[in-house]
Every structure is written in C-alpha cells, then in structure tokens.
Structure 1
Amino acid sequence: MTHSQESDETLASTTEPGSTEGHDATIEAVVIAEEGTTAAPAVPAPVPAPAASPSPAAFAARPKAPAATAAPAPAAAAAAPAVDLAEAAKFGRAEEDGHVFLILDGEEFPVGQYPGATKDEALAYFVRKFDEILAQVALLEQRVEAKAPTTDMNKTVVHLREQLGERTSVGDVNTALARLDALEANIKALAATERAAHDAARAVELAAREAIVAEAEAIAAEDPTSIQWKVSSSRMNELFEFWKQAQKSGMRLGRATEEGLWKRFRSARTVFDRHRRAYFSQLDNNNAAAKSAKESLIEAAEELATSTEWGFAAGEYRRLMDQWKSSPRASRKDDDALWARFRGAQDKFFAARQAANNALDEEFGANLVVKEALIAEAEALLPIKDLNSTKKALQNIRDRWEEAGKVPRNDMQRVEAGLRKVEDAVRAADEDNWRRSDPEAKARTSSALSQLEATIAGLKEDLEAAEKAGDARKVAKATDALAARQLWLEQIQKAAADFS
C-alpha cells in the first residue's frame, strides 16, 4: 500500500459520509502524490457559522485530485479562526504524521489524521470541529432561553451526544456533556410548561365548545308552546356558525372529544328542528280552525248589517262580539284581515242606526221646545198657594206633555226630571194636606220633619261627593232629589206651623 493510499484510508475511517461540502475544500488542500511526495498544504477553510454547522460526517474523504493538479496557492485561502493551542493541549495532542488524539479522563482516543500539515495545524483542525459542536450547543441554549418550541430539541441533544461520543473532535467533552445534561433538564421543564399552556388553552377551547353545545341543548329543551321561535331559531343559527368557526380555526381537541361534542350539538339541532316543524304544523291547523270559526261570525255580522231592527240587531252584535273575543286567534295577518271584515259589518249597521237616530232627533227637536215651555209653566206653580187649583193646572200641563210627543234621546232624561220635580212637590203637598186632616197628623208631622231634614242632610253630602268626583249623572240626580226634598220640607214646615 502506498503512502497516499494509507493516508486516504485513514481520513475515510475517521470521518462520516454524508457531510456537507463546506469542509471538502480543507481535505482537497491536502494533495498526496502517488510517488509518496506531498504538495504544500493550503490553509484550512474557515469553519461555517453555527446556524449551519455541519456534523462530523461532513468530513468524509472526497476522491483524490489528479496528480497533475496543483494545490491552491496558500495566499488565495481565507484565514482560519485562531485556536488557543495551549488550551487545546489540555484535551488533545497531535503526532508528526498528522494523527490526532483526544485526551478524556486520562485516556487517549484517536480522532483522525490530518496528513501533510504541522502538528499545530492538525490539532487546530479537530479543535475547530469540536467548536462547531459547541456552537450547536450554544444555539440550542439560546433557543431554550428564548422559550422556543421544544419540538425537535431532544433530537438535537441526542444528535450532539452522538457527535461527542464518536470521538472525532478535540475539546472539553465532559463540560460539553454537562451542558447537554443541563439542557435536557431545561428542555424537560420547558416542555412541561408548554404542555401546561397547551392544556390550559385546550381547556378554554373545550369550555367554549361545551358552552355552544350546552346552549343548543337548552334551546332544544324549551317548551315548544312557549318558546320564541324567531329569536331561538336565530340563536341556534348563530351557535352553528360559532361551531363551524371553532372547527375551522380553533384548537384541535382530539377526534373522540370533537365527535362526541358534535353528536350532542347535532342531536340538539335535530330535536329543535323537529319541535319547530311540529309546532308550526299544529299552528297551521289551529289557524285554519280559527279562520273558519271567525268567518262564520263574519257571515252573521254581514247579514245583520242591513237590519233596521235597531234594538234586536244591536243585541246580536254584542253577542257576536262576545263570541269573537272567546274565539282562538288566527295568525296575525289573517286575524287582522278577519277583524277588518267583522268590524266593517258592525260599522255599517251602527252608522245606519246613527243616521236614523239623527233623523229622529231632528224631528223631535220641535217637541223639545214645547216640553221645555211646559216645564217652565209647571215650575211657576211653586210654591203652592192653593193646592186644588195647582193640582188642576198640573194635570192640564201633563195632558199637553203627552200630546207633545218624544224628545231627542240626549234630552229625554233632563226634561223628564224637570217635570218630575214639580209633580213631586205637588204630591208632597197633597200628602201633607191629607196628613193634617188625620187626627194623628200633628204628632207625625214633627217626626216626618226630623226625618226629612236628615234625608236632606244626606242628599247634600251625596251632592258634594258627586261634585268632587266629577260624576255629572250623580250630580244631576242628587240635585233633583235635593230640590224635591226641600220642597217637601217647606210644605211640612208650613204644615207644622199650621198645627202650632
């Protein structure tokens, strides 16, 4: 075996195949002639930056250059990083033939050969390989310090341990291994923190999904007869959109968990849709029945609309209205249309009745003038001076009252009360006259006077209360009654004076 072949085999046995080509230039600088002569070695190429540091396997031997190829001029090569040879000597040594050894725990381990170079150059070459490993260790320490994702950090630690274990570099292996031990502990702690953060985020995501499902289930469980379908349908659609968004951009929860939640959510939506369809189907049936019942009432109302039997028809309309109120409601649109038809028939009837009443009121207006004159004539009879002549005059007024005929409805109560006041006074005087002719009349007069005075006092209180309440009907009634009682009081007081 020639010297060049032996050198090539040594290089091949101390480096791994598959390394990057960044260091091939260093090997190519050593050109070994087949006759055993060696060309001047070039200055080793600089070590690449730590971010792209190759593994020791990058230094596998390349095919030998042809003998006629000259070595690159030393001046053209870049200067290699300086190596502290004094520090390097603590961890390795080199022999004259370029063989380099690692000193570890008092033992020496061959790491490779750098032929055709000085001992310092050979040792420096393998120290720089160790520095590349340290650069990767430092880079990993920076990643841990920055709390970068730990996805591939453990693999990197294993790879660096393997590189140190291959004994293909020279340096403080024990310190490097200690740094890797510390890195493993820090990576483990960082991974635990990552898992805790991941678990916390997953718990939040799971709670959000659970909230979506729980709300959907709560909506589906509502009573179909009292649920607000428009609001609930809108909310159920929103929940479905939330679910799709969570599936699209939320954290993955695991196939089994997500499928379980989806089955619950889908089941709630299915139940809700089934209840909604059933409710609206029943609502359609109820609406049809309500429409049918109210259309019958409308037909009856429309038949009465042209009736001139005012009292009978008005009573029938009241009965139909009671039935309408007790009938079930149709849909809002249908019910409004049905009510418009029913109200239209009512309005037609009552408008005709009002027109008829207005015509009668116009006709009865002349009668009102006559009766108001008769009331004034009757009131002129008071106070009574001659009972017999007063009674005859009042009877004449009554006869003419009946001949005058009806008055407008709104004035009927007023004119009747006006004549009744005079009639009550004459009647009271007549009764008083009869009592005075009775042997016991004198005794009773005093009692009647006291009772009447008490009655008048009560009527005054009623009148005052009615005025405070603003009740015009009660005010009129109390006024008429009080006026009549006061007339009676005058007559009784006069009778009492006659007895004295």
Structure 2
Amino acid sequence: MTHSNGTAKPGPGTAGRPSPAPKPGNRPKPGEPHPSPAAMKSAGSTTEHPHPVVVPTTTDPSKWGRVDDDGTAWVKTSDGERIVGSWQAGNAAEGLAHFGRRFDDLATEVALLEARLAAGTDARKTKTAALALAETLPTAAVIGDIEGLAARLRAIAEHSEEAAAHAKEEKERTRHEHTERKEALAAEAEQIAAESTQWKAAGDRLREILDEWKTIRGVDRKVDDALWRRYSKAREAFNRRRGAHFAELDRERAAAKTRKEELCVRAEELSGSTDWPATAAVFRELLVEWKNAGRAPREADEALWRRFKSAQDVFFAARNAAASERDAEFADNATAKEELLAGYEPLIDPDSDLEGARTALRDLQERWDAVGKVPRERMHDLEGRLRALEKRVRQAADAQWRRTDPEALARAAQFRERVAQFEEQAAKAEAAGKTRDAEKALEQARQWREWAEAAEGAVSNL
C-alpha cells in the first residue's frame, strides 16, 4: 500500500524501531566477588541454553520476493507468492531494498527476544511478545524469510517455559550460595565474639564482614533476618567483651598511676640522702617496684617517669660528686702507699732473712693502715702488691716449719726401723733355708726403704 504522495505505506504487522539490547541478567552487583573466567566457562558449558541466539544479518530480499515495475511488492512463501504492499517512491530495486530492510527490522526484534530468553529475563513476557509478533507475520509488509522468522518465534514460545525453569533454578542456586556465604560470615562473627582478643584486628574484620554482608542479595527474607540477628548478636557480644576488657585495663592503669605517684614521692624524699650505699639499694628496689606496677595512662606514665627519674638523678649525681671529691682526697694517699711499697719491697726478702722480712712486713702493714683509703681505681693495684709481699713471707715461714717438723723426722726414722726389721727377717729365713720367706721379707724391706727415702727427701727439700 502507498500514501497519496507515492511513498510505501506499511501494512498490518509492520515492525517498529528495535528496542535497546537487554542487559545481562547475571551481572554481579557492585561489591560482589566477580566469578573467575574458568568458573564462567565451566558454568556456561554445563548450563547452555536450549535456544541459541541468532545474530541478525542483512538479508538478500531478492531471494524471497520481488517488486514489479508498477510497484507491486510480492513475498514468496511455501503457499506461493502474496502481495505485501506497493512501492511508488522510486524504482523497483529501491522498493525491494525497502521491504528487505523492514524484514531485517523484524528479524532484529526476534533476535532480541532470543537474547532475552537466553539471558534468563522474564520468560513469560518473552513468550507473550513472541506470540504477538508471530500473529503479525502473515500480514507483515516485508520481503524475507518470513517462515524462518515464524519458526524462530515458535521455538521461543516452546522454550520459554524451559527457560523460566532454568532461570528459577539459577536463582535458587544463587540464593543457596548467598545463604551459605551469609551463614559462614555469621559463624565467623560468632567465633570472633567468643574467642578473639586481638581487639583492633577483630573489630576491623567485623566491619569487613558487614560491608560484604550488604553486597549479598537474594536470600530468603526469613532466613536473612535470622542470619542478621546472629551476626548482630555476635557483634554486640564482641563489643561488650571488648568494652569490659578496656574498662578493666583503665582500672589497672589508674591503680598503676596511683602506685607510681607514691613511688615518685618516696624517690623525692630520698633524693637528698647522703647515706650513699643504703639509699642506692633503696632506689634499686623502687625501680623494681616501678616496673612491676604496670603501665599508667600514656601521658601520665611518661610524666611520672620523668618525675621519678629526676629524683633518682639528683641522688646519684650527688653521690658521684661526693665520690669524686673523696677520690681527689685519696689521691695523696695512693702516692704515699706507692712510696711505702717502693721502700719496703727491697727490704722484704724472706729467702735470705725470714725474721727480718717478718719485721719489715709488720712495720709496712702498720704504716699502710695509717695512710688510709685510696681512690677506687687504684685500690686493686696497690692492695695486690701488698698481698704479694704477705704471700712471700707466709710461704717462706711455712717452708721453714715443715723442715723442722718433729713429726716428719720421726716418721722417716720409723720407716728406717721397719726396713731394718724386714732385712733381719730375710737373713734369718735365708739361714734356715726358707728361700721363699726370705724373698718376701726382702721385697717388703725394699718397699719400706722407698717410703723412708721419700719422707727424708721431703724434709730435706724444705
């Protein structure tokens, strides 16, 4: 049919402008984990849609119809040719292309329906649209494979129920996965609430669980509410336990602060003491108590430590100053003791004159004590030299005593008497012809002779 101006007039069932392509129904929402390519490939291989999508292409209308020179447009069908319209806006080739494009528009609509069905979009609506479009085909003013479009529309209608069941199954699978994930998150939150003492890390993890929770959709309402109550209860339990922990920590820190304030007062009282050894020992005890008191609130703890250390520094600075002053006084004493040692060391020679060495040592010791103390760094050296002299004299006296020891001399004489006795016994045995007894007596005499010689040698070497 044509308008009065000669342009082609659409017949019944003319296809309209194609609608935008439908959005994929399984695209993950923001924040949801995206499936891996391998998982998508695996899912696609096991859930392939029964009705494949045919990508529309530009067809050749000359295979399916013609336009006469007078403008009459014909389409070929299995029942023969039928008139679909009239073309008066140009030559026959332009008219054929016009009706071919109208067929391509219809084919595009069918392809969109197939895409919707394959994507799982509302199958019932897709079926209704396919049936409505199929009703227009017998009177459509197009030139193309109308019967092929009709077959595709029938396939869409036939598979729509199957697609609806498939979409439902997919929805149930997704709901099950999401439910399992929320159950796992709720269980993890409950474990954190019951066991964790890593307060910051656990608190951060609970917030991460909440963020992920918000991205999980499609869970049954009642199940979702029950799982949410589990998570919420676990989070509240964790917060109560964490609050109780920090409240107890605050109490402990307050007690530590009080104790450290007392230690500061005690340290300040001792800072002016001049009883150096005893007060130094008390400060060491106070430091041990300070460490055992625990931590006070941070700012207070640092201020109290500065206060305690300041009092401690005052005492030890005064002690060091007093020790330095005393050491300066003792420097002259060290010089005097060096002079004493230099004068007496040549005089004390116990190997040549033991009694003279003893007398000189006693005189040195008396004068040594009268000089007094020396600086600490000189004490070891000077006292070591004095001890060396005392040791020489003592060793010489011990050696002299051992040389004149009556017991040692008597012991050597007894050994000699035993030698003589056994030699006499050997002679008698030999005279009596008792050779074996004689040998035995001589062996014993030899042993006692060795002991006697050893005893006499010990006395003579001293």
Deviation at 1:139, TM superposition (A): 4.0
Per the alignment, residue 411 of structure 1 pairs with 378
- Cα distance in 1, alignment partners of residues 322 and 110 from structure 2: 107
Query: Paired residue for 2:300, among 325, 331, 334?
Result: 334
> Matched residues in 2 for 1:176 and 1:254: separation?
40
Change (3 A) 1:143 1:416: same
CA distance 1:344–1:213, change in 2 (3 Å): same
1:262 to 196, 210, 228: 228
Match of 1:325 among 267, 291, 303: 291
Distance 2:7 2:265 in 1: 117
Aligned twin of 1:82: 74
Shift of 1:306: 0.3
Which residue is 1:50 aligned to?
A: 15
CA, structure 1 residues 210+413, in 2 after alignment: closer, same or farther (shift >3 Å)?
A: same
Which amino acid in structure 2 is aligned with residue 358 of structure 1?
Answer: S
Give the structure 1 partner of residue 249 of structure 2: 283
Distance in 1, matches of 2:256 and 2:106, equals 85
Whether the 8 Å contact between 2:267 and 2:283 is mirrored in structure 1 is yes
Which of 106, 110, 113 lines up with 1:140 in the alignment?
110
Aligned partner (choices 409, 418, 438) of residue 405 of structure 2: 438
1:235 aligns with 2:205: yes
Picking from 208, 218, 222, the partner of 2:191 is 218
Going from structure 1 to structure 2, the CA distance change for 1:442 and 1:338 (only over 3 Å counts) comes to farther
Query: Corresponding residue for 1:183?
Result: 156
* Partner in structure 2 of residue 8 of structure 1: none
**1:310 matches 2:283:** no
Pick aligned residue for 2:309 from 343, 346, 349: 343
| CA contact 1:161–1:177 (8 Å) conserved in 2 | no
Give runs of aligned pairs for residues 119-138 of structure 1, distance below 5 A. none
Q: Structure 2: how far apart are the matches of 1:356 and 1:86?
A: 127
Q: TM-score, normalised by structure 1?
A: 0.57
CA drift at 1:156: 5.0
Distance 1:212 1:182 in 2: 44
CA separation of 1:46 and 1:374: change in aligned 2, threshold 3 A: same
Point out where structure 1 has 5 or more consecutive residues left out of the alignment. Answer: 1-22, 30-41, 54-77, 95-131, 446-494
Aligned residues: CA RMSD: 4.4
Offset of residue 271 of structure 1: 1.6
Structure 2 residues without counterparts, runs of 5 or longer: 19-69, 84-101, 413-456
Of 390, 394, 400, the residue aligned with 2:367 is 400
Is the 1:378–1:419 Cα contact (8 Å) retained in structure 2? no
Counterpart among 299, 304, 309 of residue 265 in structure 2: 299
- Cα deviation for residue 300 of structure 1 reads 1.1
Q: Which amino acid in the other structure matches residue 46 of structure 1?
A: P
The 8 Å contact of residues 379 and 422 in structure 1, kept in 2 or not, is answered as yes
CA distance in 2: counterparts of 1:189 and 1:49, whole angstroms:
29
* TM-fit CA distance, 1:429: 1.3
Q: What's the CA shift for 1:368?
A: 0.8
Distance 2:231 2:77 in 1: 72
How far did 1:317 drift?
1.6
Of 174-183 and 283-292, deviating more is 174-183
How many Å separate the matches in 1 of 2:136 and 2:241? Answer: 73
1:100 paired residue number? none
Query: Using the alignment, how far apart are the partners of 1:253 and 1:367 within structure 2?
Result: 96
Q: Which moved more, 1:295-304 or 1:312-321?
A: 312-321
Cα deviation, residue 354, structure 1:
1.0
Identity of aligned residues (%): 36
Amino acid across the alignment from 1:399: E
Give the 3 Å change call, closer, same or farther, for CA 378–186 of structure 1 in structure 2. Answer: farther
Relative to structure 1, is the Cα distance of residues 429 and 418 closer, same or farther in structure 2, using a 3 angstrom cutoff?
A: same
Q: When the two structures are aligned, how many residues end up with a matched partner? A: 346
Change in 2 beyond 3 A, CA 1:368/1:45:
same
Supply the distance in 1 between the matched residues of 2:190 and 2:133 (Cα, whole angstroms): 59
Q: How far 1:422 moved relative to its partner? A: 1.1
C-alpha distance after superposition, 1:185-204 (max 9, x if no partner): 43344444444544454455
* Aligned counterpart in structure 2 of residue 366 of structure 1, from 332, 336, 341: 332
Q: Find the counterpart in structure 2 of residue 428 from structure 1.
A: 395
SS in 2 for 1:82: strand
2:356 corresponds to which of 385, 389, 393:
389
Match of 1:219, SS state, is helix
> In structure 1, how many angstroms separate the alpha carbons of the residues matched to 2:165 and 2:308?
78
Matched residue type, 1:182? A
- Determine helix, strand or coil for the equivalent of 2:79: helix
For 1:46 and 1:324, how far apart are their aligned partners in 2?
A: 100
CA shift in 2, pair 1:178/1:422, >3 Å: same
Pair 148,166 (structure 1): closer, same or farther in 2 beyond 3 Å = closer
TM-score by length of 2: 0.61
Cα distance in 1 between the residues matched to 2:411 and 2:339: 38
Is contact 1:164–1:173 with CA below 8 Å preserved after alignment?
no
- The 1-side partners of 2:133 and 2:367 are apart by 141
- CA offsets, 1:179-232, max 9 Å, x none? 655334433444444445444544554455445434433332235xxx233333
Of stretches 260-269 and 393-402 in structure 1, the one that deviates more from structure 2 is 260-269
After superposition, the Cα gap between the structure-2 partners of 1:425 and 1:174, relative to the gap in structure 1 and judged at 3 Å, is: closer
SS at match of 2:195: coil
Partners of 1:43 and 1:79 within 8 A in 2: no
CA distance in 2, matches of 1:315, 1:217: 53
Report the Cα distance in structure 1 between the residues aligned to 2:331 and 2:382, rounded to whole angstroms: 12
Letter in 1 for 2:275: E
Rate the CA distance shift 1:401–1:363 in 2: closer, same or farther, 3 A: same
Deviation at 1:289, TM superposition (A): 1.1
**In the alignment, residue 81 of structure 1 is paired with which amino acid?**
A
Judge conservation of contact 2:276–2:319 (CA < 8 Å) in 1: yes
Letter in 2 for 1:240: L
Q: What is the deviation of 1:164? A: 7.6
Q: More displaced, 191-200 or 383-392?
A: 191-200
Query: CA distance change for structure 1 residues 349 and 327 in 2, over 3 Å: closer, same or farther?
Result: same
Task: Quote how far apart the aligned CAs of 1:308 are.
Answer: 0.6
Distance 1:264 1:390, change over 3 A: same
Letter aligned with residue 222 of structure 1 = E
State the alpha-carbon separation in 1 of the partners of residues 355 and 182 from structure 2. Answer: 104
Shift of 1:291: 1.0
Distance in 2, matches of 1:401 and 1:444, equals 43
**Higher normalized contact order (CA 8 Å, seq sep 6+, divided by chain length):** 2
Displacement of 1:274 in angstroms is 1.7
